[in-house]
Chain A
Amino acid sequence: MPLDDPMGPAITTANGKGSAAPNRLAVIDGDIHPAVRSMADFKPYLSKRWWDHYETYGMRRKHGSSNGEPYPKSAPLACRRDAWPEEGGRPGSSLRLMQEQHLDAYGVEHGILGPLGNTGQGEMNLELSAAMCSATNDWQRDTFTRPEKRLKGGLVVPYEDGVASAKEIERCGADTDFGQVFLLTRSSEPLGSRRYWPIYEAAERYNLPIGFHVFGTSGHPVSGAGWPSYYIEEGAGHSTSCQTVVTSLVIEGVFERFPKLKVVMIEGGFAWAPALAFRLDKVFERLRSEVPHLKRRPSEYIRDHVYFTTQPMEEPDDRRHVLDIMDWIGWDKLLFASDYPHWDFDDPFRAFPAGVTTEQHRRIVAENGKSVFRLN
């Protein structure tokens, strides 16, 4: 039975007028992107030293672009055409529109933010990176999570500096306005490397999950095969970068060292996960003498520690294939995410294929996120 028949609320999604239908699910959205109207929004949160530095030298990341994208997106700022605020500014910069068009319209009880853009993450000057990340967190709190209690922040950290990242988690981690520590998948070294462990130690201490969102500027092509030409390849490749993260966390022993750590893979889809787990188990069986620090099979660490947001929803021709995948991953490990206001947005009531039961749907859309994002 298609979900949008019994579950679809009486809403008009495009122009934002939501109507509270009875028995609607209280949606937990694992991926909403807030944006600055312009970089000036960060100015109050930066010292004069760092604002002047930013104005003089700009940001430098490992892709060489100061303005523009090496892989231009399929829409301006990769956003829905209907998400540009009337009052100007970028999609995601207007709390009013985000409330009206998204939180109210879909009955979002909690939305987890993931700030992207010039947040300081991946910046090569590590001190600037730390200053910008702090500014992003403070701006996020003042602009979104304090005025709108349904929103929970993504605590951005200058992840290429593990110690500075841990400090930022110390600074903000006790504040329940934050629902996750936010990292990007394409880091300078594989994310299981020791240099990143202070982040995991601090996150575990505050019971914050680590959200690994696709993107980032590692300076490396998405795989050892080199740099592809097209955005379609870059976009499809995000699932590849997620696999690199999960492989590294598991094999380098992060979950053995931080047994309470939870991680969330964001915006890379999820259909890749079973095949990766099968592969890692198989290779592990043969090569376990190389990694004696691992006490269990890779799939067991994945099963216990890794959550997956569902967006962009997998859409095979035959829906049974994606139902198999969801079965293999576990219905308790999948978290709905919309990616609002980006173009490959998922609607919580239409994204899932027929065959997902009402109860399974409820868990993904309204239940599983509660314990992951510190919402209880």
Chain B
Amino acid sequence: MSADWKGAIDCDVHPHVPNIDALKKHMNEYWRETVEVRGITAFESVAYPPNAPITLRPDWRADKAKGRARADTDAGRTAAALMDRHGFAHSILNCLYAVQLIRDEHMAAAFCSAVNDWMRAEWLDRDPRYRASIVLPLQNPELAVEEIERCAADKRFVQVLALAMGEQPLGKSHFWPVWKAAEKHGLAIGIHAGSSYHHATTGSGWPSYYLEDYAAQSLAFHTQLGSFIAEGVFVKFPKLKLVLIESGVTWIGPYLWRLSKFWRGVRLEVPWIDRSPIEFVRDHVRLTIQPFDAPASGETVGRLMDQLQSDEMLLFASDFPHWQFDNDDMMPVGIDATLRKKILIDNPLATYARLV
């Protein structure tokens, strides 16, 4: 165990639902039978093709010769790779099972409940250091609120989870009942890279390559951030924390300059935004550090970090099991010891009210 990481809070770890049987156990009889009768095999998206290099680091892949499943299907092996190995205090689970693809809002709610209960039984109960995000059926905000109310008594849930690409931008009033419930329970809002694929992944339609889809995720985060600010979500719910997960980080400074410059000219349209968007972001918005879109140059990273004008915005994350780094190089180069400690421990604690 390395002292460098001791006590860290890993804000993005992905538990993998191995198969639909794992979820069926957590469904009522109607949905269990539905899964069988209708031949539902899975809801998995193209966001992480299982054999694509980025999806799983080589040493965390399945190994048939050794009879080993992929590491992210097992709470014990995941804990060994992260919390045991490095001495992390907590790992926050963000399950990316693609409930967002489902068009039927009731089925989506049933699958969300199953995923959340599966995480409780197979992960949270297996290791007290795990924490988790509540997966939500945002297809219908009322059902999403019900799911929050159902899960919130369990303090191991510290966040609610949405994807960067859904039906409509998440700041819109359509979703406010959900954010209201999150605020009430002290749950952060996590937006993770990913798509419901209900819109094309770019503003000019569908690109040819997976690489472009992945790159386009950060653009959806631009839209989401603009939406949360312009719609006044932080004015309406001043205690909310918004965490942008797997967004890439370095896009945010330039986007905020543009948004803030625009605000100076067109703020009459959104008069509830009574200070610069940058200030709302410093107070309410956090980003996880993997992936970190910058070259491995301490000098460049230092200059990029300065753009944030805050040492409180970044949260440590391994993005396990995605292949974002090799060995233990989880932290971008060029981050000094003081900032490092804030990223590893202080900032996550300040973001997730239910961690303490």
Contact in complex: B199, A251 (CB < 8 Å)? no
Task: Name the distance in Å between A195's Cβ and chain B's nearest Cβ.
Answer: 11
Contact A316 B253 (CB under 8 A): yes
Q: A228-B169, A282-B293, A289-B53 are in contact. Are A252 and B207 (CB under 8 A)?
A: yes
**CB of B220 within 8 Å of the partner chain:** yes
Query: Is A275 within 8 A of B293, CB to CB?
Result: yes
**Are B226 and A233 neighbours in the complex by a CB distance under 8 Å?**
yes
**Stretch from B90-98, B116-124, B301-309 at the A interface:** B301-309
Assess whether A171 is interfacial by the CB under 8 Å rule. no
Q: Is A239's CB under 8 angstroms from B254's CB?
A: yes
Q: How far is the CB of B140 from chain A (nearest CB, A)?
A: 16
- A1 near B: Cβ within 8 Å? no
A283-B215 in contact (CB<8A):
yes
A240 B222 Cβ-Cβ under 8 A: yes
Of A221, A230, A236, A252, the contact of B203 (CB 8 Å cutoff): A221
Q: List 21 A-B contacts (CB under 8 A).
A: A74-B265, A190-B202, A190-B205, A218-B204, A222-B223, A224-B195, A224-B199, A228-B226, A228-B227, A230-B231, A235-B262, A236-B258, A239-B254, A244-B203, A248-B212, A251-B208, A272-B254, A279-B248, A282-B291, A314-B261, A321-B303
- Evaluate contact between B223 and A233: CB separation under 8 angstroms: yes
Decide if B168 is an interface residue (CB 8 Å cutoff): yes
Instruction: Point out the residue from B205, B248, B269 that lies within 8 Å of A220, measured CB to CB.
Output: B205
Of B219, B261, B306, the residue contacting A223 (CB under 8 A) is B219
A247 at the interface (CB under 8 A from B): yes
A187 in the interface (beta carbon within 8 A): yes
Q: Is the CB of B218 within 8 A of A279?
A: yes
Contact B266–A225 (Cβ < 8 Å): no
Write out, one digit per residue, whether chain B residues 209-228 have a CB within 8 A of any chain A CB (1) or not (0): 11110111011111110110
Q: Given contact pairs A239-B254, A287-B53, enumerate 7 new A-B contacts (beta carbons under 8 Å).
A: A192-B207, A218-B204, A224-B200, A232-B230, A233-B226, A233-B230, A286-B53
A-side interface residues, number (CB < 8 Å): 69
In the complex, the answer to whether A271 meets B254 with C-beta atoms within 8 Å is yes
Interface contact B204-A230, CB-CB below 8 Å: no
CB-CB under 8 A from A290, the residues of chain B are 52, 209-211
Which B residues lie within 8 Å of A204 (CB)? none
Note all chain A residues with C-beta closer than 8 A to B230. Answer: 228-230, 232-233
Distance in angstroms between the alpha carbons of A240 and B306 in the assembled complex: 22
Residue-wise interface mask of A (236-266) relative to B, using a CB-CB cutoff of 8 A (1 in contact, 0 not) = 1101110111011001100000000000000
CB-CB under 8 A for A232 and B169, given A185-B204, A275-B251: no
CB of A39 within 8 Å of the partner chain: no
B201 at interface, CB cutoff 8 A: yes
Q: Which residue of B lies closest to A227 (CB)?
A: B168
Instruction: Report chain B residues within 8 Å CB of A230.
Output: 230-231, 269-270
Q: Does A188 contact B (CB under 8 A)?
A: yes
Chain A 78-102 interface 0/1 with B at a Cβ cutoff of 8 Å (1 = within)? 0000000000000000000000000
Determine whether the beta carbon of A286 is less than 8 Å from that of B323: yes
Beyond A190-B204, A283-B211, is A244–B293 a contact (Cβ under 8 Å)?
no
Note all chain A residues with C-beta closer than 8 A to B294: 275, 278
Task: Say yes or no: B255 contacts A236, CB within 8 Å.
Answer: yes
Q: How long is the Cα–Cα vector from A279 to B291 in the complex, in angstroms?
A: 9
- Check A223 against B220 for contact (C-beta < 8 Å): yes
Nearest A residue (CB) for B194: A224
A201 within 8 A of B: no
Residues of B within 8 A of A220 (CB): 199-200, 202-205
Query: Are A226 and B168 within 8 A (Cβ)?
Result: yes
**Bound Cα distance from A301 to B258, whole angstroms:** 25
Contact yes or no, A291 B211, CB < 8 A: yes
- Contact between chains at B263 and A251 (CB < 8 Å): no
* Chain A residues positioned under 8 Å from B351 (CB to CB): none
Closest partner residue, chain B, to A243 (CB atom): B219
A356 to B157, CA, bound (A): 50
- Chain B residue contacts of A279, Cβ below 8 A: 215, 218, 248, 250-251, 291, 293
Minimum C-beta distance from B38 to chain A (A):
28
* B313 in the interface (beta carbon within 8 A): no
Question: Which one of B169, B219, B323 has the greatest number of beta carbons of chain A within 10 Å?
Answer: B219
